[in-house]
Amino acid sequence: MRELFKTLMWPNLWAKRWEETHPRCGLMSCSGPRSLWRHIWRYQRGIRLQGVFYCRPQCLETALLAQLARIQALAPVLLPPNRMPLGLLMVVRGWLTYEQVVAALAAQQSARSGRIGDWFEKLGFATEQQVTSALGLQWGCPVASSLDSDATRPVDRIPLGILEALQMLPLHFVPATKTLYIAFGERVDYAALYAIEQILDCRTQPCVAGRKSVAAELNRMRQQPRPREVEFGPMHDCAEIGRISASYIFRLGTDDARLGRVGHFIWLRLRVRATYTNLLFRLWVEPQSVQNVLSPPLP
């Protein structure tokens, strides 16, 4: 009886195996080969975009353009308000006096630039270490004890343009848990962390580090060659971004492509066998919009 049951299950198992090795095209309007035998005969390996299989270049391009239009239309994520103003937090901790905070705020408003933490340092009221510790408390994150990255792979995973825009630095990657530890020098951007998780298929853990140390490390990285990383922009034409993306995807023989929006960038990550190529499209935005999103008035 058990053998008979197994025999009856064969078609289902065969169909499951067939689905695994010959996935359906993810494009609803796909006009690719429908007949089984034509499919077997004409089957090609296809490309995955965001984990979805597309059988032909035309199907992939259609899906790619739809994804790009959706991502480009996303409004930049406004950074959430801080949990407690930095100055107040430092007064509570006894690191600053109320008068020093008032003086730093006045200097910031007069100059109409700089973060309040910078002004605490400039005016000699606090050290960078104290400001960094306060940022850690403000964002509920640990403070990185060292910026000496012990894993170069994560550094290569995120395009430098994004790292510089968000003043962040990948520190350490734990393969066992697929966790990437990222240090922020100014403020923790959780929306960016979420996008990075989707594209790199990993978890992220934020921490904070000294602003000057992060900036210096990024500047050092800028001096080093970054092969397989190409930046375009500023751009606003979605069709143009799609054309460039498709050109790279097909020319490199891409197996898997993932894309997402991080700040004012569209990041496209292409896997070709065991190597990765990163395309970074800097989106054109109104200067006023950049000011509001990246540098909101800080307490």
**26 scored as a contact of Zn ion (CB under 5 A):** no
- Among 48, 49, 53, 59, which residue interacts with Zn ion (rule: CB under 5 A)? 59
Cα Rg of the chain, angstroms: 24
**49 scored as a contact of Zn ion (CB under 5 A):** no
**25 scored as a contact of Zn ion (CB under 5 A):** yes
What gap in Å lies between CA 194 and CA 203, rounded to an integer? Answer: 9
Query: How near is the Cβ of 56 to Zn ion at its closest, in Å?
Result: 5
Q: Measured from the CB atom, is 30 or 272 closer to Zn ion?
A: 30
| Tokens 């919009």 found at | 289
Query: How near is the Cβ of 32 to Zn ion at its closest, in Å?
Result: 4
What gap in Å lies between CA 131 and CA 129, rounded to an integer? Answer: 5
Beta carbons of 263 and 166 less than 8 angstroms apart: yes
**Residue of 167, 150, 94, 155 whose CA lies nearest to 125:** 94
For 248, the token pair is 């790279």
For 262, the token pair is 């991080």
**Residue of 102, 84, 95, 105 whose CA lies nearest to 125:** 95
**32 scored as a contact of Zn ion (CB under 5 A):** yes
> 3-state DSSP call for residue 32?
coil
Query: How near is the Cβ of 61 to Zn ion at its closest, in Å?
Result: 11
| Tokens 């035998």 found at | 37
Query: How near is the Cβ of 30 to Zn ion at its closest, in Å?
Result: 3
- Among 47, 48, 53, 55, which residue interacts with Zn ion (rule: CB under 5 A)? 55
Q: Measured from the CB atom, is 50 or 292 closer to Zn ion?
A: 50
Q: Identify residue 202 by its one-letter amino acid code.
A: C
Q: Which stretch binds Zn ion (CB under 5 A): 32-40, 69-77, 97-105, 171-179?
A: 32-40
Q: Which stretch binds Zn ion (CB under 5 A): 47-55, 140-148, 176-184, 206-214?
A: 47-55
Q: Which stretch binds Zn ion (CB under 5 A): 26-34, 103-111, 250-258, 272-280?
A: 26-34
Query: How near is the Cβ of 33 to Zn ion at its closest, in Å?
Result: 9
- Among 30, 52, 91, 235, which residue interacts with Zn ion (rule: CB under 5 A)? 30
Cβ-Cβ contacts under 8 Å for 17 (sequence gap 6 or more): none
Q: Which stretch binds Zn ion (CB under 5 A): 19-27, 116-124, 177-185, 206-214?
A: 19-27
Beta carbons of 264 and 290 less than 8 angstroms apart: yes
Alpha carbon of residue 22 to chain centroid: 31
Sheet of 168-174, strand order: 168-174, 179-184, 203-208
Query: How near is the Cβ of 45 to Zn ion at its closest, in Å?
Result: 13
Q: Measured from the CB atom, is 61 or 189 closer to Zn ion?
A: 61
Q: Which stretch binds Zn ion (CB under 5 A): 6-14, 30-38, 76-84, 153-161?
A: 30-38
Beta carbons of 96 and 120 less than 8 angstroms apart: yes
Q: Measured from the CB atom, is 31 or 275 closer to Zn ion?
A: 31
For 122, the token pair is 């400039």
Query: How near is the Cβ of 209 to Zn ion at its closest, in Å?
Result: 46
| List of residues contacting Zn ion (CB under 5 A) | 25, 27, 30, 32, 55, 59
